[in-house]
Each structure stands twice: as C-alpha cells, then as structure tokens.
Structure 1
C-alpha cells in the first residue's frame, strides 16, 4: 500500500461528504432498530454534523474539506441555543421543543467551532455548573431540586413549562432521566475543558470503567465499546497521562478483536474507531497497514462507507442512530491519522519483523 492509495481514498471520501452535505450544512442521520440499520428513516439531529466535522479536521487543508467545515460551522452556529448550548434535535425538528439541551451535543459542537476559531457563545461556566455531588457531570441541562447560580441554566430549564405535557411524556417514554451521568459524555467534557480541579473526578471514573471492564454498559447512549474507546482515547492523546493504564488496556482489548481479514470488531465502523483509538493510545505498528488496506477495500464506489449504528436511543437499543456519512467521517479520520504516522515516520516495524 502506498501513500497515494490513502490519499486517493481520502479524496473520494471527502467528495462523497461534500456531495451528501445538505445545503444548510447539516449531515444526514437515520434512525433504525438494529445495528446494521437495514430499515431506517431520516431524523434531523445536531450530533452527526459535529462528529463528522471533528473527524475531518486533519483534512481541512483539502479545499473540499475546508468548504464542508465552513458550511458545517454555519449550521452549528445557527442551531446554538441560549448560553451557547445545543440540543440533540435541530430547531425545525418537532422534538426540539420537548427535548432538553444536553452537555454532549454542547461540548462536541463547541469543540469543532473552537478548533476552527469560529465564534460561539462562552459556555464553560454553564457546563461546570451541571455537576453532581461526586463531581461528575449530568448529561442534561434540566430542572433538578438543587441550587444553581447560573441564570442561563434556569432560563434553559424553565422552557420545560412551555410544553409541560410533552416534557412529561419525554421523561416518561424515553430511557433518559434527569440524573443521567454517562461515561462518554463525561469523557467528552474532559476533552473540551481539559484536566483541572473541576474535571479531575472524570479521570478516576474513566480509569475505573476500563479497569472493571464496564465499557459495554457505562453509557446510556453509546452501547458499543469501540465508541467508548474512541472518546476515552482522545483524552490520552491530548496529554492526560493519568489515563495511561486505561490506554494500555484499550490497546490490548482492541487488538484482541482483530480478525483474519484484518478487520476489527464487528463492522467497518468498529474497524475505523479501533484504528483511531489505537493511534490515539500511542500504538505505532506496521501491523495497522493491513487494517488500513481493509478500510480502503471496503470503500464503496460512491466514495462512502456502509452505515452502522453509532449511538443509541437508550441502553435497551430500541433505536439506533447512524448514517453512511457518519461512518465515512470515522473512516476518513482513521486514514488521516495513519497517514500522519507515515509522514512522521512513527511506524514500528518490529512487530512485522517478528512475524516474518
């Protein structure tokens, strides 16, 4: 495999995303009832655009990628709510008015805008004010019988009284609760805010999850361990050395799922997330070359990759969320990170020599 193979695949993928980005900058999201999402309908959500945009940040030197990011940022800026927070659903989605804004969408959208030096309303104090007694962060910005000094917190929460019946049914009929504390959400908060006195409890929380092998059920919305590995590993790559024990375990567990065809896990999505997580955790091996070849081989003629469930509507997996565009974003991120390893010469050939 040559550097040219990767770059050709990346360019095809970027052009696929450019062709499939909506005029308003949004990316498609489907709702299904199984991981393969064979039967699904479209749903207007914020999160896919944030995730895809983050995945192609390393590719913004490509003109088409830069155009995609500019449109995506305009979309995210338009969807921002009071206090610089975001909802899971777009403003035009009927569910927007009854679903409370959430911290995960908020920090993921903010990360994209921050890394691209795009304007967004300061929201870090509001995020910090949404913690429980152990120092971990709640998933939702919503009413709780607890003192909060932030004006915007109350103004956001009081929107529940505009649609009391719909809000009541939201909490009754979904698997969400006002007191949700989720692992991937907290990992994303740590990545956004950085390690400091206020976010330190998240590190111990993450270490405990990996040590006790709870990555399969530590989050209500990310029920795939590879998604957990992905979000956790970003923090280690960001320089939080306290997570080294978790990083080593993540590498071992991902490599333990390597198949004979050099895929990882159960899908092309798992494979892409696995490669990204391995690289984020400091794994530099020529053995990844075959997995990168597998990713390229799985690319469709259109330039995209098959859809697979990225996140869920709750731990019971009654609803699955994903799209070809989301899978394509992660595959492009895997290719971009591996290409950076090649350019920097950070490939360990010893594993290959031991096998030959």
Structure 2
C-alpha cells in the first residue's frame, strides 16, 4: 500500500473535522436510545469527547490539527471548575450540575492540557484522595472518610449536597471502573501512589474480567485502547497485559479487516500501535478504514460509551480515532512470519 492513499485520507478527515468543530472549540457528542445511533440522536454538550479528539490530533503534524487543538484546549480550560476539576456535562448543557466531577473527565482533560503545556491547577492531591482501601480509584469525586478536611470542604462546596445525594442514592458513589482507572494512570503515571490502581488493572486482565469491571464502554476495543494508551504513555508496569490483550483482541478481527465498524477498527488499530504490534492485522485494519471513509472525509457515528441515554458517540469521535490510527501507521510494516 503506498503512502498516498493514507495521506489523502488524513487530509480529507482533517478538512471535515475542522469544519465540524463548534465555535466554542468543542467537538460534538450525541446521545441516543438507539444502539446503532441511527435515530433519536440529540446533541449532548460535554468536554469529554473534545479531550479524546485532542489526544488523537496530537499525532497529526499539520497546521489544521494544531489550529483545532488550540481552540479545543481553550474550550476545555473554560469548562474547568475549582482546582482543576471537570464534570461530564459542560456548562452549556442544562444537565451540567446533575453529576459531580468524575475522574474520567478530570484525568483525560488534565492529560491533554498538561501535554500541550497549558497551565493547570494542582489537582493531583484531590484525585489521589479518591481511592479505595486497595488503592484503586473511584469514578465519582466525593468526600470520603479518608479525604483530608480541607479537600472535603472544597468538594462539598463545589459539588453541592443535592448532587452528592443523587449519586449516593443511585448506588454508584463507590463505583470502581477499569477504564476509568486506566485513564487516571494516563494522567498520574506510574509511582508509589498508583501501585494499587496498577495492581487492580493487572488483576482484571489476568482474570479476564474486562467486561465485568468496565461499566461505561460496551465494546472491548475501547477498553484495550485506554489500557494500552496508558502503557504507551509510560506506565510500563502494565506491560504484562500485552500478551493477554493481543490474545483477546486479534481474534475479534473479521474477514474484511474490521473489528466491527470503523470505530472499533480504529480503536483496535491504535491499540496495536500502542503495543508495537505492527503486523498484517494492523495493515488489514487500515485498509478497512480507507475503504469505509465517507466522501466528505468522515466516518460514521457509532456508540463509544454508555450513560443515561444510554448510547453516546459522534462522527467527530469516530473520525478522530481513525485519524490517530492513520497518522501513526507506516505502510512499511514488518510482518512476522505467519502474521
């Protein structure tokens, strides 16, 4: 495969994504009751999708990508509350205060801001205060029995009693999610304070509990993407997950090279790249992405994560993950015998 089809696909996708970015700098998320996201979709403003798009754009060496990133970073910074905290729903969303800040948003957004050299309040302590006894991280930011008094006052003031009560009544206040823990590690990195989260994730993969412990991402390629992303970004203690992840991911590839739609194919391709598995499976996945790109440069909307709707995704998200995969791909892959 020559480089030119990949380069053309990247250029077309960048043009489409630049045209889809909102004036605020946000990239859209849609919510839908339809698992195929073909009907009943509504715009659901959130900083989370924008953080994922900006991470993907970080691999694209192009002025259009840098321009989009600058505007997107401004949007993320404008949505910050208190000492470096974010909620899932943006301030532009009428549901903004229905949920407390959560570690998925906090850490994904903090990572891209920090990577871009943006100023960020010291929020490490407040994230670390949100761990269980074994050291794994809770999803929702809430005052805990182990939270220092000053931090507890900050959380109570920011979140509000009504929102905290809603989380308590839902039974999710002590939710521990494997994908969320992977995203916390992406931001905090490897160290003494994150050993518990690393041990938790190693155990999840060792015991094959990915679906049981993953409450927000319906498809395995999404979890393997965030897990391998943390490893790629320096959490080397997660290296033992490489073999099991590849052993479970590669059999999901279908005869047409896909892993079940463009979104999962892009996530799988990025996982292979994160794990330095540049074999024929990656080549076939990229071929599928090139074959399924739409004429306008985008790829179709598909659900990435779950919530009250319950399905959430967008063309912007799918296209960003496809851009990441294509931008990182080299057509001169070295295929191991039998790959």
- For the pair 1:205 / 2:200, whether they are aligned, the reply is yes
Question: What is aligned with 1:110?
Answer: 110
**How many residues get paired?**
338
Displacement of 1:159 after TM fit? 4.0
Question: 1:63-142 maps to which residues of 2 (within 5 A)?
Answer: 63-142=63-142
Find 2:249's aligned residue among 225, 246, 254.
Answer: 254
String of CA shifts for 1:166-186, please: whole Å, max 9, x gaps. Answer: 6545654x6x61111111111
String of CA shifts for 1:66-116, please: whole Å, max 9, x gaps. Answer: 110000000000000001011101112122123101111011011111111
Displacement of 1:33 after TM fit? 1.9
Contact 1:129/1:150, CA 8 A, preserved across alignment: no
Separation of aligned partners in 2, 1:251 and 1:30: 31
Separation of aligned partners in 2, 1:243 and 1:168: 35
Contact 1:308/1:324, CA 8 A, preserved across alignment: yes
- For the pair 1:183 / 2:178, whether they are aligned, the reply is yes
Displacement of 1:227 after TM fit? 0.9
1:77 partner SS: helix
Question: 1:1-356 maps to which residues of 2 (within 5 A)?
Answer: 1-39=1-39, 40-59=41-60, 61-144=61-144, 146-149=145-148, 151-161=150-160, 164=162, 168-169=165-166, 172=169, 177-264=172-259, 266-313=260-307, 319-339=310-330, 342=331, 347-351=333-337, 354=338
* Stretch of structure 1 that moved more, 200-209 or 236-245: 236-245
* Stretch of structure 1 that moved more, 191-200 or 34-43: 34-43
Cα separation, partners in 2 of 1:73 and 1:150, compared to 1, 3 Å? farther
Displacement of 1:261 after TM fit? 0.8
1:350 partner SS: coil
Separation of aligned partners in 1, 2:115 and 2:146: 33
Contact 1:100/1:141, CA 8 A, preserved across alignment: yes
Displacement of 1:41 after TM fit? 1.1
1:94 partner SS: coil
Contact 1:113/1:119, CA 8 A, preserved across alignment: yes
Separation of aligned partners in 1, 2:297 and 2:106: 30
Separation of aligned partners in 2, 1:170 and 1:273: 31
Contact 2:257/2:288, CA 8 A, preserved across alignment: yes
TM-score normalized with structure 1 length: 0.90
Separation of aligned partners in 2, 1:160 and 1:333: 35
Separation of aligned partners in 2, 1:220 and 1:287: 28
String of CA shifts for 1:166-219, please: whole Å, max 9, x gaps. Answer: 6545654x6x61111111111111111111011011222111111221112212
Contact 2:143/2:156, CA 8 A, preserved across alignment: yes
Q: Cα RMSD between the aligned structures?
A: 1.9
Separation of aligned partners in 2, 1:229 and 1:150: 37
TM-score normalized with structure 2 length: 0.94
Separation of aligned partners in 2, 1:37 and 1:167: 31
Contact 2:31/2:311, CA 8 A, preserved across alignment: yes
Displacement of 1:153 after TM fit? 4.2
2:176 partner SS: coil
Separation of aligned partners in 1, 2:126 and 2:79: 18
Separation of aligned partners in 2, 1:161 and 1:298: 46
Contact 1:98/1:167, CA 8 A, preserved across alignment: no
